[in-house]
Amino acid sequence: MNVWIVNPFDDLPHEAGRPMRYELLCRRLAADGHGVTWWSSDFSHSTKDYRSLPPAAAAGGVPAPAPPAIRLVHTPRYRRNIGLARLRNHRLFARNWERDARDAVGSGELQKPDRILVSLPPLGTAGAAFRLRADWKCQVIVDIQDAWPETFLRLLPGPQAVRRPLGRLLLAPFFRAAAAAYRQADKVSACAQGYLDLAAVHNTQGLRHLYYHGTDLSDRLPAREFPAQFTAQRPLRLVYAGAMGCTYGLASAIRAVCRLNQEGLPVELHIAGRGGQESRLRKLSAALVPGRQQPCVQFHGYLTGEPFHTFLRAGDAGLLPMHPDSLVGIPNKLVDYTAAGLPVLNCLPGETQALLARYQAGFAYRFNDESSLCESLAGILRAPACLPAAAAGSARLARDCFDAARNFRDFARFIAEKIGRCRRDHQKTARNWASRLTECIILRAFRGGLWLWLFPACHKRHQLKHHAQPQMANLFSMDATIPPPIRINLKHKTT
């Protein structure tokens, strides 16, 4: 079977600190005897820079045990994870990938795929895959990695009751693209149960399954050892591995660690990664601990391979400071921390919090709350005996939920599984005209006069302007006079 994996975000095999989701999936599929092609982007989401393949990878010779062929699609650069430049990158990735795929098959360079697995996000690649399916009669699997576009609602002003309807109106094309991807997919997989529930609203008949992220657990680490008491010579080492963006409450974590040190409590924060907030965070750290020989906040840059694993092994607890409204289900950081047997300090609610509580694998604090994090860290410093039990729970969580050997064996079988029923989507993509009509009515109402309800002064001037307008004919008549936008009744009567 010939399988295509389409994901532009995961680190490639020669880049990653550890094998990520799609590298592990490619290797498992190849080990099962399938031909595998991984379509990625020539712009790295992690380093925010252009990349190229080593000669062996371009030829399908990525290091053993099971090499996928990797093809890079050209896309424009972006600096921030949230912004118009990234949306443009996604749109062009979908367009360029479809063009490159058709050219490669048309020239005989690649065979037609039997399965196409596309990650979501990006949103546009699913639509391109459905168009290829119509021509090539293959299956399309949508693998949900994040709740797009729902995660963008947190960027809008106002309370939740206002953000949600307003966001669904402003982001209507993106919500429509996501719903179409869920509805038209032959199969849907996800890395978190919440994402699968999101798809179930639209895909009520397709095959759906949960597959957590995974990592190699074959090298069993010895049980972690913690000191009986943390001191200035052996402080509590809190580690963070990941991006430094606006989704993460790292500034409050730096302030909390510096505050505890000023109070004489020995704790250090070690940060590995890059991101748009890195410069600001470095300046904040330097301002809070000026002239100190051994700073309590240290930056280690972007780590891969053995230095990355050494960084995690040197820590006493992992920090997971994600914004609750990001709607992230199971972050990769949780997999990294638990695979290293690290207790986790977490502020992300939902699935992550539930797993940590079930396995008693960590400690909770409130997002961006300096005092809350100080309380959690001070509790650990007062009673270090709590750490070994939390570390053991973290290791159990990794074995039960994030074992790549088990997860991706089942994932590969799910992809290869045949579908016994015929889908009309293979002939032509169907649109839900009822939802489209409803959306058009809402948009026309908003553009035509809904703003008058929001601004009463404008409403009053509008009424004066149209006061002497003649009586209307039926709205649906060919010679009907268009009513004032704010009117609700089909008949307009003058006063």
Q: Of 319, 317, 322, whose CA–CA distance to 343 is shortest? A: 317
Assess whether the region 2-214+406-426 and the region 236-402 belong to the same CATH fold.
Answer: yes
Whether residue 347 contacts residue 320, with contact meaning beta carbons closer than 8 Å, is answered with yes
Query: Residue 398 and residue 394: Cα distance in Å, rounded?
Result: 6
pLDDT (0 to 100) of residue 126 = 94
Q: Both tokens of residue 348?
A: 């992300």
Q: Of 12, 5, 21, whose CA–CA distance to 42 is shortest? A: 12
pLDDT (0 to 100) of residue 476 = 27
Q: Of 332, 322, 278, 277, whose CA–CA distance to 300 is shortest? A: 278
> Rounded to 5 degrees, what angle do the CA atoms 80, 83, 89 make?
85
Map out the domains of the chain as residue ranges: 2-214+406-426, 236-402, 434-495
**373: Cβ–Cβ under 8 A, 6 or more apart, which residues?**
252, 253, 256, 345, 365, 366
DSSP codes, 320-349: E-B-GGG--SS-HHHHHHHHTT--EEE---
pLDDT (tens, 9 = 90+) of the chain, 495 residues, equals 999 999 998 888 877 667 889 999 999 999 999 999 999 999 888 778 888 876 655 444 444 334 468 999 999 988 877 778 888 988 999 999 999 999 999 999 999 999 999 999 998 999 999 999 999 999 999 999 988 888 777 777 777 777 778 877 888 888 899 999 999 999 999 999 989 888 888 866 677 899 999 998 877 667 788 999 999 999 999 999 988 888 899 999 999 999 999 999 999 999 999 888 899 999 998 888 765 657 899 999 988 888 988 999 999 999 999 988 888 889 999 999 999 999 999 999 999 999 999 999 999 999 999 999 999 999 999 999 999 999 999 999 999 999 999 999 999 999 998 875 434 343 333 344 444 554 555 444 444 444 334 444 444 443 433 333 333 233 223 333 323 333 333 333 333
Q: CATH fold of 236-402, please?
A: Rossmann fold (3.40.50)
Q: Both tokens of residue 184?
A: 């038209």
Q: Is 2-214+406-426 in CATH node 3.60.20.10?
A: no
Residue 354 three-state SS:
helix
Whether residue 395 contacts residue 338, with contact meaning beta carbons closer than 8 Å, is answered with yes
Q: How far is CA 129 from CA 32, 124, 126, 183, in A?
A: 24, 9, 5, 13
Q: Of 90, 154, 159, 119, whose CA–CA distance to 26 is shortest? A: 119
Whether residue 314 contacts residue 234, with contact meaning beta carbons closer than 8 Å, is answered with no
404-416 vs 21-31: helix crossing angle, rounded to 10: 70
Residue 322 three-state SS:
strand
Query: Residue 459 and residue 452: Cα distance in Å, rounded?
Result: 5
Query: Residue 429 and residue 361: Cα distance in Å, rounded?
Result: 46
pLDDT (0 to 100) of residue 288 = 85
